[in-house]
Amino acid sequence: MQRLLLIALVVLSAFIGAVTGVIMTLRYLDDQKPYTSIEQQQNLRLAGSGLDSAYRATLGPDLEAASRQSTRAVVHIKTGYGPGNFSINPLDRYYRRPMHSSGSGVIISDDGYIVTNHHVIEDASSVEVTMSNNQHFYAKVIGKDPSTDLALLKIKARGLPFLAYGNSDQVVTGQWVLAVGNPFDLNSTVTAGIISAKARNIGILRENNNNLEIESFLQTDAAVNPGNSGGALVNLRGELIGINSAIATSTGSYSGYSFAIPINLVKKVMDDLLEFGSVQRGLLGVVIRSVNADLTEEKGLDVVQGVYVDRVNEGSAAQDAGLLEGDVLTAINRQPVGSNSELQELVARHRPGHVVQVTYRRAGEEKTIPVTLRNTEGREGITRMEVDHEIQGATFEDLPYSELASHRLEGGVLVQKLDDGPWKSSGLRDGFIITHLDKVPVDNVEDLNRMLAYKNGGILIEGIYRNGESGVYGLTWRRQ
């Protein structure tokens, strides 16, 4: 009898080991797959889901289908500010009053990527997400871009409802749209209106952006209030065509017009943040102003629409391509441009090294030339996020999949060595496996770098040692 029991235990152990091996192998292969853009992921999920007929509402004044689809994919974001989520002083729970604010976000993939405004999560020490069904998650910041007021978040979940990208180039003035968000903490609020104008520049992103801000908003009269920021602007098919970002008001509340970032720009920024950790901005390298009647008369131009080149920067993409001061740019990739904001948005959709076709007028003639865009440093290459394995006195390494499997972990970072610094002062010991920062899972060293880049103050560290002992520590963190 004992022999049979022993044989059964051996067989069971072998089976469990085989299953674990298969799971970790699949996870490894999944991690090795080439980068896939958010839009490609959306198309794949929609193609295989059979949702096309129900997902897309027919054209017309029917707002119900678009409202029903979009409210499920718009989330409430609550941010915390102050010294951090963790304090070693027990009196803080009585005397400290953490500051909070809130906004909205839009789920753009079924595995938990969320787009919101940069100003919603700027300098936040914690980001919490609540879905329309009251599910609650802690979110990690994947990346943010102040120059477009956009940020990308990630929550650990699967099978989520999401909004598919529309095409903001096809948006026309007068068409019906819905604004979905959480104004004044009133969850899942839907308002309706029309597109009032396109390519609006209202000057709200100028501060501290080194003249790289992109303002080419969709203007709508759908009611948007504080708390709507980061929410969805959708068409009647339930497609995401913009991210609500600003209102024109003298009172702080809705006064007639609101502004959304066009989705074709959002798509590019999200893919940059996901793939590189930062936005890869392609630049022409010119100083420009919109053509109007006064400028046409002043400069003796033969056009009344376009973008006038005041200066071509030394060593820029425009100079290399042969553009000159006094040229009037009229199209990018055959798409007409009538203002600075239109030109800047179209160029901002491209990365350094991309070639765009620039149409311009000079001395009464119109020409089109290829221009290879460059970055802010005058180079055509991509700038990737550097992954540091030595961070303020501690050395980290990724865990092999076999060790992750043995601890039944999906991710984690090993503290390989500790020298003097904040990590050692926290009480951590060599061999600790960090699994969470401020309740948010840590996948690997690159993920740790990304998360620490947006932290400042107290951080709650959770994990286990290799012998299975669990640990919770408080880290006093100062960004360098």
Of 282, 275, 230, 273, nearest to 454 by C-alpha is: 273
Q: Name the active-site residue from 118, 119, 258, 341.
A: 119
pLDDT at 170: 96
Q: Which candidate in 149, 327, 398, 447 is catalytic?
A: 149
Annotation says 229 is catalytic: yes
How many other C-beta atoms can be found within 10 angstroms of the C-beta atom of residue 444? Answer: 18
What residues have CB less than 8 Å from 452, skipping those under 6 apart?
A: 391, 437, 477, 479
Q: What is the pLDDT of residue 82?
A: 62
Please give the Cα distance from 133 to 135 (Å, whole number).
Answer: 6
Chunk the chain into consecutive blocks of 10 residues (it has 480) and report each block's average pLDDT, rounded to whole numbers. Answer: 48 52 51 72 73 48 88 94 51 47 94 96 91 94 95 96 97 96 86 95 75 91 90 96 84 74 98 94 96 94 95 96 97 96 96 98 96 94 90 95 91 95 94 95 94 90 94 90
Strand partners, 190: 180
pLDDT at res. 18: 53
| Residue count of the chain | 480
Task: Please give the pLDDT value at position 40.
Answer: 84
Provide the pLDDT for residue 50: 53
Strand partners, 162: none
Q: What's residue 187's pLDDT? A: 84
The pTM of the full predicted model, rounded to 2 decimals, is 0.83
Identify the pLDDT of residue 90. Answer: 41
Number of C-alpha atoms within 13 angstroms, CB side, residue 146?
A: 11
CA 440/CA 454 separation, integer angstroms: 13
CA–CA separation, 315 and 141 (whole Å): 35
The per-residue pLDDT for 248 is: 72
State the Cα–Cα distance between residues 452 and 215, nearest whole angstrom.
29
What confidence score (pLDDT) does residue 5 get? 47
- Structure confidence at residue 32 (pLDDT): 54
Residue 119 falls in the annotated catalytic set:
yes
Measure the CA–CA gap between 216 and 335, rounded to whole angstroms: 15
The DSSP symbol for 230 reads T
Domains detected in the chain: 18-279 (2.40.10.120), 286-372 (2.30.42.10), 390-477 (2.30.42.10)
Instruction: Compute φ and ψ for 474, nearest 5 degrees.
Output: -110, 120
d(C-alpha 52, C-alpha 57), whole Å: 9
Which 3-state string (H, E, C) describes 147-208? CCCEEEEECCCCCCCCCCECCHHHCCCCCEEEEEECHHHCCCEEEEEEEEEEEECCCCCCCC
Lookup: tokens for 80 = 């915390």
* Other CB atoms within 10 A of residue 298 CB: 10
Of 70, 196, 229, 426, the active-site residue reads 229
149 catalytic per annotation: yes
Single-letter amino acid code for the residue at 30: D
